[in-house]
Chain A
């Protein structure tokens, strides 16, 4: 099981009276490519942050890749995220003044994965595979187009060979051709690397790329202004 949530409740510490998420049970099998849709503000990003250990649940069991995040401390969750999870955001995926290669290298810095001589070869393969031309490898990433930046973000997310890849509306800043291009690259790379892919968006048109489609509103039983018990 790649993801297994039981009785998970979450409220932001700043607003403990309002639970954002309340999930009785939700599971995702290994190597599944799952699309979760929900309206803006429905708690999609919050769910992803719980799964990657950026946020910790107020109660319940959060098991990711067979490990209980709710039993880990902040430091262990950081290490777990670095070693096992790749993350692609809607925007601001890259440190703007570093080039593509440096951005990817920094991500590999924090994981215990190989830091061998193969690293730069791996980076080069990924970047070529993602159609980033060699001339753009060392430009400050702020100078790349948004489409290029999002593709570099995939490479950044994949460099540590994660078992789980989380994508939080990664195409919402892209135009249609760029979005299609991004999606097909993402899907084929996820397949090649045998990765569980969890993709959230409010854009239902993207659901056609996935074998499984869930609505957050069905997973999440949280009712407005009810605290976690």
Chain B
């Protein structure tokens, strides 16, 4: 790398280049794009949780004013292939050796004879405006014959449970069991054993910008351009091309400004195939933006899990065995396979060493909306179970919970650490680096456990409690991400990558990396992420992977271009490439400061140089394939006070100590963590996507589905430790998800600690005032 370390932008809080435009209202989000004569779409969705469709009549809708086309299941069944998120459903060989169940259940594009959840698309109207399209939806006649619906996972697992999906043998979509040692024997001889059932309720990513896309067919070539809110543009390209039978090169997907994703925009839904199909079929641009009702009821849900967990320990608190049966509510179909169940399974034990484990995950179908990963993707749910169980074990043994944790942590001397389990790729799980004891010590000191205990003793009438949550996150999911770096005719440098931003600041952070690598001025770099026409392959921004994969690809491609620049400049300056340096985009000869060449001069002369190499540009594409996960970690500590009269839980202090390798932009990184904490607080305190017993979603607006507002998220006191990752040249780890993993467990631990004098058990969220009062009442009854 070329510039002096003191000038390095990596590690500096460079202000974001994104902000000026966004602050002026000059962003370009999908629904902002003005595409002349674009038609708009409205969907007719199932009103029933499970039913047979006996008839659909779309003739009246077709005759409505302003309607261009109406499609039902029958009209598309032979024209669009059903949706299978194949990338997520793949089972790597190592996992296949565990003999898992992973049923392939393609989603019908529009329902033909059966609907399996409320919100499932049944018909699509394309009209001149959304208003006119919705008018036409009103006059479509669908007759349903109701079938028994199953909403609850335990009911779905019952022997005589009705089938969620007709034609399947049972309601199990996914199953895997994995472990090590002899768990039953270890539990039988353990000095202390605790068993409990902890669960996480269903919630929704709910980015403030909902999912949407605009598709336009080129009248000359017939190719399709799609502007989309997706987190994974290349996957959308491949799916659209495959589903409607276009060559993949004739579909271009462009991510524009995107208003948050968090996982919901990381998997494909049928609407994303239907809208491009309509543009192709009608030869006119077509737009669809989900409204909030669609977002909450008919786009992916997340998080609903039950953990039947058992921990065994010696009398001194040394863990000897962990057993957990994880039951995941998948919704109406197995959409993303082992992703969430296996993530939960292989992150459950986290930073602790334990010789024996027996972990089983069952993904259960119910007549509810399908589910996707949501920030953390199984880790918040697993951490909730494990860290709640650790607190129970501490109480059982009479050990301070933070001390019990300390006794069981993997130490930095043990790094890299093999857990004895298989990771998500099906290879031996290895934590690359970290210092969990240092992290915990810092959190214990910051939250000041002795002071909280003294306060509890001094003020026995108040209900104050302290809670911790420790977790790991194996970040930087492969298999690859790419970067193309190109010196443009103006002399500016462009970076193209498949990993778009939904708010993470890629235009700034990737430019910092490229400026350092190439010796180009930060202001001379433009980052264009998520356009399939500018780089042929990509995965996307999911699973805390963008910085690790695209960041390192950027550094690789930047270094290759720097070499090309030096070689080309050597020819122009008639100097030795080894004597040249690039600083702030100016090439000079060491020791001869009068001789200089700008990148603009160079790129203008390179293709025209007599006797040139024949490769006329200054551009390179490089792909980075991470050899292993970069394992980030965090310790959250919180004190709360519970008002037993009102049920209100107040967060008095919230501390995060995190570790995510080399930090490229500290302000951006801290804000990612805090944003995750905010979502985690929402999840444990108020959010709950609820169904009634018939499968009707009853929290279908933002007035019923309660997201956190500012006053619910306290100031967050932060500290960090840094253990650069040996898995990649930049030493970085992902931290997009981590912040969301800790809050549910830490806050629930603190609330149970506060309410211990009342005998309250905290088994699940949300910890809303009403539920806290219920818990207090229940504990009185049982006492």
Do A and B make up one complex?
A: no
Q: Which residues of A contact B (CB under 8 A)?
A: none
